[in-house]
A and B are shown apart, each in its own frame.
Chain A
Amino acid sequence: MTIKKTSLNNLHIKYGAKLVEFAGYQMPIQYKDGIIQEHKYTRSHSGIFDVSHMGQLFISGGDDLTNDLEKIFPADLKKLKTNQSKYSFLMNNKGGIQDDLIITKTSDGFLIILNAACKYNDYEVIKSKLNNQYKLNLDESLSLIALQGPKAKNVLNKVIPGCDSLKFMNGNNYVYKNEKVYITRSGYTGEDGFEISIKHSDAETFVESLIENGSKLIGLGARDTLRMEAGLCLYGNDLDNDTSPIEANLKWAIPKSRIETEFVGSEVLKNQFQSGVKKLRVGIKPDSKVIARGNTKIYNDKNQEIGKVTSGTFGPSVEHPIAMGYVDNSYSTVNTKIFLEVRGKKIPANICNLPFYKKNYVKGEINV
């Protein structure tokens, strides 16, 4: 299989990226500054992320589309206003997560942003569940660029005036170089930010103008440390086919109005809502400087295995190792003492609240 390149590939090379293969694409893991500096720059100023490998699925056609999509996704799509976004899941019949995604209502249907490694499978699954009744377009003519950080608003507004009026988890159409771009206010870093869907041929000049206004390109390495500090899940690490949104502690993304209704996996979810779950995703803070990576085994004080770490790193902004993982529900209370098996030693740690790093998202001009 040939490795695909995004429209920003030349720019990555120009800015000294170390390139790796990720989900079939050649992507920058870091640039010259390195992961820690890139991470901190995003938190203090703004960072540009090439996320063009992610899927942009447009679905349209037919009055029953919203109804039919609600049979697939546990989101309250009927209440969604045009240009409003919701975080949701594509689940299997067992309530396991096949992908986590963002659904935005567009003027003629829905836009769903999918994880790169899942997008082709998601497309087939969604198409078949919709009985081929609607127009589905996994649009590969568009790049996707995220701009994240406290200065993201100022920088983007200089390049595309007016986008600062967007509210969090809302989108709209804008114009860049006489071409339509779609911008949503969202992100994956715990910072205020935007995701810009733009034609491939305009992506490079657009990113160069963000750089001229003070932003820097940020690699996948810092994207991972940023999202971990923000307590956000990475599909394939923290979420998978055998884990439900309830177990993943993402109950907030299943609106109450949908619990009694039917969608793929609803039986299992309803049951878990009523009877609880055996395992739960938690934040984990090691006492020492030791880093517990994914797959680290978790023990209780009686040396019984109670779970597994799914993501772990050193948090550059919190300046401490951080992790998240799944533990037996009876150990999920904050401040419960647990032990992480790293290189044969049991490292003491505590269950802690997520996120590790808290910054205000923006709702209009009011910080909440």
Chain B
Amino acid sequence: MSEVKYSKEHEWIKLDGEEATIGITKHATEMLGDIVFAELPEKGSNVDKDGTAGVVESTKAASDVYTPVSGEVIDTNQMIVDDPSKINEDPEESAWFFKLKIKDKSEMDSLMSKEEYEKFAKETSA
């Protein structure tokens, strides 16, 4: 069974064995507005927990995308680079950002559950 967790930077992470899929939450897309640009990490590169691993831009501003865990980038989603509006349409499914071979599963422990994240998102946007 895969496990989905959430970060305070509004990323979601789904873990299947050693493979983690990472994207940004629906709540994040609602705060950003229309997304018009996405930049992803390079395949084969290593990213560190809480480090920058991409950029999204709306018509208004640019925002960094962080990785909630460390690992090696094994895949990136070209679809969202070609059509960034897909991120607004389906942020938590088809519009994932990148996949990692996770380095240390214990890094997942500090992340939030869905319920915890929803509470966090509600509190921080109020």
Contacts and interface: CB of A to CB of B under 8 A. Distances in A.
Interface of A: 29-30, 34-37, 39, 221, 224-225, 289-291, 293, 313-314, 316, 321, 343
Nearest to B58: A35
Interface residues of B, number: 14
B59 A316 contact: yes
Nearest to B55: A343
B60 interface: yes
A293 B59 contact: no
A223 to B, nearest CB: 11
A316 B37 CA distance: 12
Contacts, number: 41
5 nearest A-B residue pairs (beta carbon): A314-B36, A36-B34, A35-B59, A34-B34, A291-B57
Q: Counting chain B CB atoms within 10 Å of each CB, which of A37, A221, A289, A290 scores highest? A: A289
A221 B36 contact: no
Nearest to A37: B34
25 contacts: A30-B33, A34-B33, A34-B34, A35-B34, A35-B58, A35-B59, A35-B60, A36-B34, A36-B85, A37-B34, A39-B59, A221-B33, A221-B59, A224-B59, A225-B59, A289-B81, A290-B39, A291-B36, A293-B61, A313-B59, A314-B36, A314-B57, A316-B36, A321-B37, A343-B55
B62 interface: yes
Contacts of A35: 33-34, 58-60
Contacts of A36: 34, 36, 59, 85
A34 B88 CA distance: 11
B37 A293 contact: no
B85 to A, nearest CB: 8
Given A30-B33, A225-B59, A343-B55, 4 more contacts: A289-B37, A291-B36, A291-B62, A314-B59
A342 to B, nearest CB: 9
Contacts of A221: 33, 59-60
Nearest to B31: A18
Contact of B37 (A29, A37, A224, A291): A291
